């Protein structure tokens, strides 16, 4: 513990307090040294100033000792598998520039966790002591975003966004059940680590010293492959209910075990999801389906009873399914995971169709009579409308999901006539319908005849790319060419 910090700081603070209270404008130049005396004629001082200063210094020193005792040093781990070549060059440049200007700057969150696990991070986030306006002044290609959580997006040379946030402190306590609506209280690396959700996500990496910094025993949980909240899980889930969805995502994607108290808290606090922003819930569902562990995520959500809150249609379908139907449902989700593991992207509408199609099939199986093709669209809309309203699904994604599911029901009639096939191939969702049929075929849901019919259709009318590449010219480039043309004339 620093002796100078304990003795000099309290004395200086005591001087300031005494000077402020007694309005001392100057110190006497005497052999008393730093022990000043009051101005002559002052009647407000009942005790000698040196006594007042000593009492204040002792009080402040005792308080400082208590604060230092409450601020334990973090674990600094220098033996780790992280290498500079594994870190994005743009992120390293951001860290170096912030450090050069005297700010603390660390990699934080999922990138550190994934690097320690030997996985390739999807992105790199930076935490720093620089405040948002200071960050913006240091980087030309930078924009500030967010209200609840204000941070900077720094655009690197390769176009990748380096999300850079100031160290945060936990917001003032306004009751256990209150949601966090303002998360812009700035703090220190320690307070920033303590306000994060899970211990494995609260690790810092100091690129200058090449050290992993751990304030919350996250390294131990990482070694044990255990997902644990920082603090009481009940309180943390009440602060931000979306953390329950994130717990499912990390446990499924990383193959981690949920700590027992965390698991119990998810079950008991699942109704709190109704207080979360609907847009965030929708985004988390897409991340669960698009993260390469969709089958495990839906299974874990059902086990923790989160499905009955967010997607009760799927929860009810799983509850009624027999072993064959259950296997059929998860084979499709496993196929999604296999495709994503190969580096391929799946549009959001097809992701949604993957969890809604079993619901549609379940309802169709219970109907006493077979529906006509013209009734297919109306029936699917009726089944899926509560889901779309509950999560405020964007119209474009929901329209894609409805169209690809309708095409599966109408395909038997479409494939018989060339005019019908040609008209179907000209629709805006033709490529997505073919893609969904291929996913169903890989999961074993189509017969050989149906597989051959879809393949023949795709060969006769090749579908366009699912994702069209947009090319952007340089701003003002066309105008410059026009001016040059006029000059030549």
List 88, 114, 123, 338, catalytic entry: 123
**What sign for the dihedral angle of Cα 56, 58, 62, 65?**
positive
Catalytic annotation present for 157 = no
List 15, 90, 125, 192, catalytic entry: 125
CB 376 within 8 A of CB 412: no
Catalytic annotation present for 100 = no
Catalytic annotation present for 197 = yes
Nearest to 256 by CA among 221, 291, 287, 289: 221
The secondary structure of the chain, three-state, reads: CCHHHHHHHHHHHHHHHHHHHHCCCCCCCCCCCCCCCCCCCCCCCCCCHHHHHHHHHHHHHHHHHHHHHHCCCCEEECCCCCCHHHCCHHHHHHHHHHHHCCCCEEEECHHHHHHHCCCCCCCCEEEECCCHHHHHHHCCCEEEECCCCCEEEEECCCCCEEEEEECECCCCCCCCCCCCCCCCCECCHHHHHHCCCEHHHCCEEECCCCEEEECCCHHHHHHHCEECECCCHHHHHHHCCHHHHHHHHHHHHHCCEECHHHHHHHHHCHHHHHHCCHHHHHHHHHHHHCCCCHHHHHHHHHHCCCHHHHCHHHHHHHHHCCHHHHHHHHHHHHHHHHHHHCCCCCCHHHHHHHHHHHHHHHHHHHCCCCCCHHHHHHHHHHHHHHHHHHCCCCHHHHHHHHHHHHHHHHHHHHCCCHHHHHHHHCCCCHHHHHHHHHHHHHCCCCCHHHHHHHHHHHHHCCCCCCCCCCCCCCCCHHHHHHHHHHHHC
The Cα–Cα gap between 408 and 431 comes to 13
The Cα–Cα gap between 165 and 91 comes to 13
List beta partners, residue 213.
76, 204
List 197, 206, 221, 337, catalytic entry: 197
Active site residues: 123, 125, 197
């Amino acid at each position: 513990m620093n002796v100078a910090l304990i003795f000099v700081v309290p004395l200086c603070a005591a001087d300031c307090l005494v000077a402020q209270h007694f309005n001392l404008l100057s110190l006497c130049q005497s052999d008393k040294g730093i022990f000043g005396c009051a101005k002559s004629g002052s009647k407000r001082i009942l005790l000698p100033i040196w006594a007042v200063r000593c009492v204040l210094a002792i009080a402040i020193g005792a308080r400082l000792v208590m604060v230092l005792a409450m601020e334990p040093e973090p674990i600094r781990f220098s033996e780790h598998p992280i290498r500079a070549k594994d870190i994005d060059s743009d992120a390293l440049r951001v860290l170096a520039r912030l450090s050069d200007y005297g700010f603390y700057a660390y990699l934080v969150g999922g990138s550190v966790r994934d690097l320690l696990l030997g996985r390739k991070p999807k992105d790199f986030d930076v935490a720093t002591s620089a405040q948002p306006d200071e960050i913006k002044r240091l980087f030309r290609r930078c924009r500030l975003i967010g209200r609840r959580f204000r941070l900077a997006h720094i655009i690197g040379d390769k176009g990748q966004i380096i999300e850079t946030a100031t160290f945060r402190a936990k917001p003032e306590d306004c009751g256990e059940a209150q949601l966090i609506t303002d998360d812009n209280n700035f703090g220190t690396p320690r307070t920033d680590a303590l306000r994060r959700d899970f211990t494995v996500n609260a690790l810092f990496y100091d690129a200058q010293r090449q050290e992993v910094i751990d304030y919350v025993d996250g390294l131990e949980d990482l070694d044990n492959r255990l997902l644990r909240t920082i603090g009481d899980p009940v309180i943390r889930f009440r602060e931000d209910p979306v953390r329950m969805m994130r717990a499912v995502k990390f446990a499924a994607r990383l193959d981690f075990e949920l700590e027992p108290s965390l698991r119990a808290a998810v079950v008991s606090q699942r109704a709190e999801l109704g207080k979360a922003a609907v847009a965030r819930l929708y985004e988390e569902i897409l991340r669960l389906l698009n993260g390469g562990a969709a089958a495990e995520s839906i299974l874990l959500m059902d086990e923790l009873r989160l499905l009955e809150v967010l997607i009760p249609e799927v929860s009810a379908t799983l509850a009624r399914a027999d072993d064959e139907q259950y296997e059929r449902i998860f084979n499709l989700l496993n196929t999604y995971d296999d495709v994503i593991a190969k580096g391929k992207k799946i549009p959001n509408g097809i992701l949604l169709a993957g969890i809604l199609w079993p619901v549609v099939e379940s309802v169709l199986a219970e109907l006493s009579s077979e529906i006509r093709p013209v009734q297919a669209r109306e029936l699917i809309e009726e089944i899926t409308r509560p889901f779309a309203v509950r999560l405020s699904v964007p119209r474009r994604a929901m329209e894609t999901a409805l169209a690809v599911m309708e095409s599966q029901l109408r395909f038997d009639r479409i494939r018989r006539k060339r005019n019908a096939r040609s008209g179907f191939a000209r629709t805006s969702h033709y490529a997505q319908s073919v893609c969904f049929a291929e996913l169903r075929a890989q999961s074993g849901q189509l017969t050989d005849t149906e597989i051959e019919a879809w393949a023949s259709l795709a060969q006769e009318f090749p579908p366009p790319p699912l994702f069209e590449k947009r090319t952007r010219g340089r701003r003002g480039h066309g105008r410059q060419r026009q001016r040059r043309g006029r000059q030549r004339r």
